[in-house]
Chain A
């Protein structure tokens, strides 16, 4: 082992003091600010999840009142979706890594970048205010007329918080898109971009195009609640189902805002730990764009039993099925990247392999739900809950943790404990499956979601799920501890601890404030791991490509 030394000056020690952090324009520091923010909201959302699982240990609703339970699952959903899953990977990993990966000094609009963090935190504070003034009990989906006319909970502050937070998404999206268009290093052509950048670009597209729709929808909801406009009120000639169309027009693409960045991370991690160019680079890049675009045409699959036209259901089912294609392309391409690779089972790679298994289950159960005749039975049951947790936790959180373990040495210059890392990884994997697999079975048996009490025959599966949640909880707390510990005691990582390719590994860890001592020039494709090691060059890498 080569003993590395921390670089003398880097972005973390370039300036000191609280002010240097709160007013920073450095994308890396803003990434760390986002890390603090999303970690806080993640722990808050997890605490609500634990309360849900505790209540469901017994069939009777005995731990808390029905009203309290309704508030708890709603706040779990709101914090996790809007304040963790959506901002986590773009806000933390995208902000930190994307500019370095394209060889830029920063994002195109550093001030907008800082503004996006403040907007995010302001939205979060409004939502916290809503929580402290009693919380909200409508479910994160805010369906009227319950949310507009019947709920007595803090719909306005929470709705406003989510509305404000949307602008953080838009700012990040615009910033990333312009950065990728305008800030690439000389020689960094579109098809030399790391796939992480393609994924973030696709995500930004959805953020910029989709988020205004949820903003408008929430404004309509607020007007309805305050002034009884009647837009969603059947008694005034309005249409409550219209809200669902508007809501899902954003919120289905929002699912891709959550999963595309995780897919983007997985491409980086698999390439780095197989030391091999991603199989079918172009297919993986375009499948991200394909998912982003298709995502806008499938919202009606949330509404097969909503009284939407039967024919609309058929069209939405067909379009939804098509999303399976780019997803399948990605999974097969990642899998075949391992073929003839030089695979090292380091921490990030374990998360990537976990992602491959769990996302496959999450994606395939998406095909179940897209299937009209089957969805009618399991719609709004625990099958749906299990499905989206396989995508959101098995996919997004696995990707997020994989990425955090991958770039942590770059962010901090230090390595974390592999032993505790692997312990945590296995607890997360086992705990996750134990929590959510039984929920597929519960859903097929018909257990509705958002139930405070349930028939006795479902207790065994619910106890398994709650037991899994406690294992998962321990697994997710551990990284907080060993990451913090690594800051003091971690081994110095050096510029490229994984032996990976990519511009971010060519600068010091942590990088200097302007990312590179000398502006990089790119003359090769992404993941260029050189000629084959166990067969003759045979034209595989054209001469001069390196």
Chain B
């Protein structure tokens, strides 16, 4: 229903209904108070208008009851609004396990996207309807922001880190994609389209695009090119074994624990000394400059694809890493 109202864009994701319901509450609540205030001001101004030049007002400037009323009622309303908004926000940021992972890289002034199966696009993103999609985003230069109004999702795209968003497209169609963080001359041309297709049509589209390598394969190539396995391969290496590391908690040499999420893995590639895993020395050189943002993304895809170690030897090797 809300999508028929002129002020909402189309509802094309699993969040759109939630956000619009929240919006309707905000509009209704605000309209009530705006009309209440405007109405009271006009009524009081007319009803109590000055009838003679020397007339003064009647003393009435205190009422604890009224004061409490207009303190407590707004407080309850904003607390309710806060809780509702926070609930929607948490859903926006909690991606379900197993969502297909797309990589997005922003640069002045274009969006480069890559599918899990390796297809690349510029200023376009094709998605299958009804399947949860997780986006892993980063920037090669300044801060951008990735916004799809029909999905009601947005996240800043920041150089030097990954941000994530997820959604499930619910309707086929073509939807606007905008950059919403001012990024320089052609900011308003850093736009594109998200195309949501039936799964079969999406498969056909995927098949029509030549693929040099999937994200995982690309990552594997980069892994080999940089010789990562020299230290991280096998047992008893100079660096921790990487099988199954993505997403797990690791213990740090400096004390404390950290979840090895995308940002941790990224940091460990470009600034390896920052958070060294317990049991290892800070020997690894930085690979900053030797890998670009897209390759880092591919490496992470590869690391995520590595299965948990199963042999006793590998388990023993990783014991020092993860407890």
Closest to A319 in B: B82
Partner-binding segment picked from A41-49, A127-135, A332-340, A401-409: A332-340
Q: Given A150-B108, A325-B78, does the pair A448, B180 have CB atoms closer than 8 Å? A: yes
Complex Cα spacing A235 to B296, Å:
14
User: Does residue B143 face the partner (Cβ distance < 8 Å to A)?
Assistant: yes
Q: Mark A256-271, 1 if CB is under 8 A from B, else 0.
A: 0000000000000000
Chain A residues within an 8 Å CB radius of B180: 379-381, 448-449
- Chain B nearest CB from A323 CB (Å) reads 9
- Chain A nearest CB from B296 CB (Å) reads 12
Most buried by A among B19, B152, B160, B189: B160
Chain B residues within an 8 Å CB radius of A275: 50, 55-57
User: Does residue A371 face the partner (Cβ distance < 8 Å to B)?
Assistant: yes
User: Does residue A445 face the partner (Cβ distance < 8 Å to B)?
Assistant: yes
Complex Cα spacing A337 to B149, Å:
43
Closest to B31 in A: A364
- Chain A nearest CB from B173 CB (Å) reads 14
Complex Cα spacing A305 to B59, Å:
49
Chain A residues within an 8 Å CB radius of B108: 150
Contact A321 B19 (CB under 8 A): no
- Chain B nearest CB from A530 CB (Å) reads 6
A241, A280, A367, A381: the one within 8 Å of B81 (CB) = A367
Chain A residues within an 8 Å CB radius of B159: 145, 234-235, 240
Partner-binding segment picked from A186-194, A218-226, A353-361, A468-476: A353-361
User: Does residue A139 face the partner (Cβ distance < 8 Å to B)?
Assistant: yes
Contact A371 B44 (CB under 8 A): no
Contact A235 B160 (CB under 8 A): yes
Residues facing A in B1-28 (CB within 8 A) are 6-9, 18-19, 22-23, 26
Contact A380 B57 (CB under 8 A): no
User: Does residue B213 face the partner (Cβ distance < 8 Å to A)?
Assistant: no
- Chain A nearest CB from B14 CB (Å) reads 13
Residues facing A in B32-56 (CB within 8 A) are 33-34, 37-38, 40-42, 44-45, 48-51, 53-56
User: Does residue B187 face the partner (Cβ distance < 8 Å to A)?
Assistant: yes
Closest to B93 in A: A310
B37, B54, B145, B155: the one within 8 Å of A357 (CB) = B37
Chain B residues within an 8 Å CB radius of A454: 188
Contact B49 A373 (CB under 8 A): no
Most buried by B among A322, A335, A381: A335
Q: Given A380-B180, A446-B147, does the pair A329, B71 have CB atoms closer than 8 Å? A: yes
User: Does residue B203 face the partner (Cβ distance < 8 Å to A)?
Assistant: no
Contact B84 A446 (CB under 8 A): no
- Chain B nearest CB from A324 CB (Å) reads 5
Residues facing B in A415-451 (CB within 8 A) are 440-441, 444-446, 448-451
Residues facing B in A350-382 (CB within 8 A) are 353, 356-357, 360-361, 364-365, 367-368, 370-377, 379-381
User: Does residue B290 face the partner (Cβ distance < 8 Å to A)?
Assistant: no
Total contacts A-B at CB 8 Å: 297
B8, B70, B82, B288: the one within 8 Å of A321 (CB) = B82
Q: Given A283-B67, A329-B67, A372-B86, does the pair A380, B56 have CB atoms closer than 8 Å? A: no
Most buried by A among B9, B26, B82, B147: B82
Q: Given A332-B70, A530-B56, A532-B58, does the pair A379, B158 have CB atoms closer than 8 Å? A: no
Contact A452 B92 (CB under 8 A): no
Complex Cα spacing A353 to B75, Å:
24
Q: Mark A308-336, 1 if CB is under 8 A from B, else 0.
A: 00100110011001101100110111011
Contact B78 A324 (CB under 8 A): yes
Complex Cα spacing A182 to B57, Å:
33
Chain A residues within an 8 Å CB radius of B60: 276, 279, 339-340, 532, 540
Complex Cα spacing A360 to B212, Å:
58
Contact A314 B142 (CB under 8 A): no
User: Does residue B88 face the partner (Cβ distance < 8 Å to A)?
Assistant: yes
Chain B residues within an 8 Å CB radius of A343: 44-45, 48-50
Complex Cα spacing A328 to B78, Å:
11
- Chain B nearest CB from A94 CB (Å) reads 25
Complex Cα spacing A415 to B114, Å:
68
Contact A143 B143 (CB under 8 A): yes
Closest to B32 in A: A364
Closest to B161 in A: A307
Chain A residues within an 8 Å CB radius of B55: 275, 342, 533
Q: Given A151-B184, A321-B78, A329-B71, does the pair A380, B145 have CB atoms closer than 8 Å? A: yes
Contact A314 B49 (CB under 8 A): no
Complex Cα spacing A178 to B90, Å:
47
Complex Cα spacing A10 to B269, Å:
74
Contact A360 B156 (CB under 8 A): no
User: Does residue A17 face the partner (Cβ distance < 8 Å to B)?
Assistant: no
Contact A373 B50 (CB under 8 A): no
Contact B30 A367 (CB under 8 A): yes
Complex Cα spacing A446 to B67, Å:
39
Chain B residues within an 8 Å CB radius of A151: 184
User: Does residue A341 face the partner (Cβ distance < 8 Å to B)?
Assistant: yes
Most buried by A among B66, B70, B92, B161: B70
- Chain B nearest CB from A290 CB (Å) reads 11
User: Does residue A453 face the partner (Cβ distance < 8 Å to B)?
Assistant: yes
User: Does residue A23 face the partner (Cβ distance < 8 Å to B)?
Assistant: no
Chain A residues within an 8 Å CB radius of B186: 66
Q: Given A325-B74, A341-B44, A367-B78, does the pair A499, B54 have CB atoms closer than 8 Å? A: yes
Chain A residues within an 8 Å CB radius of B33: 360, 364
Contact A150 B58 (CB under 8 A): no
Complex Cα spacing A239 to B274, Å:
14
User: Does residue A535 face the partner (Cβ distance < 8 Å to B)?
Assistant: yes
Complex Cα spacing A48 to B188, Å:
19
Closest to B70 in A: A332
- Chain A nearest CB from B208 CB (Å) reads 27
Contact B48 A341 (CB under 8 A): yes
B49, B182, B188, B288: the one within 8 Å of A139 (CB) = B182
Chain B residues within an 8 Å CB radius of A143: 142-143, 181-182
Contact A61 B37 (CB under 8 A): no
User: Does residue B313 face the partner (Cβ distance < 8 Å to A)?
Assistant: no
Chain A residues within an 8 Å CB radius of B178: 446, 448
Contact A451 B58 (CB under 8 A): no
In addition to A280-B62, A342-B57, 18 A-B residue pairs with Cβ atoms within 8 Å of each other are: A61-B188, A150-B108, A276-B56, A280-B63, A325-B78, A341-B44, A342-B50, A356-B37, A357-B34, A368-B30, A373-B87, A379-B145, A440-B7, A444-B7, A444-B9, A445-B9, A451-B187, A453-B188
8 smallest CB-CB distances across A and B, nearest first, come from A234-B160, A373-B88, A446-B149, A276-B57, A371-B85, A372-B89, A338-B44, A341-B57
**A residues neighboring B (CB under 8 Å):** 61, 66-67, 70, 137-139, 143, 145-146, 149-151, 234-235, 237, 239-241, 274-281, 283, 304-307, 310, 313-314, 317-318, 321-322, 324-325, 328-329, 331-333, 335-345, 353, 356-357, 360-361, 364-365, 367-368, 370-377, 379-381, 440-441, 444-446, 448-455, 499, 529-535, 540-541
A-B contact pairs, 23 of them (CB 8 A): A139-B182, A150-B184, A234-B160, A240-B158, A240-B160, A276-B58, A304-B89, A305-B154, A328-B74, A331-B37, A339-B44, A353-B42, A364-B33, A368-B26, A372-B89, A374-B26, A377-B19, A377-B23, A380-B154, A441-B7, A445-B9, A449-B180, A453-B188
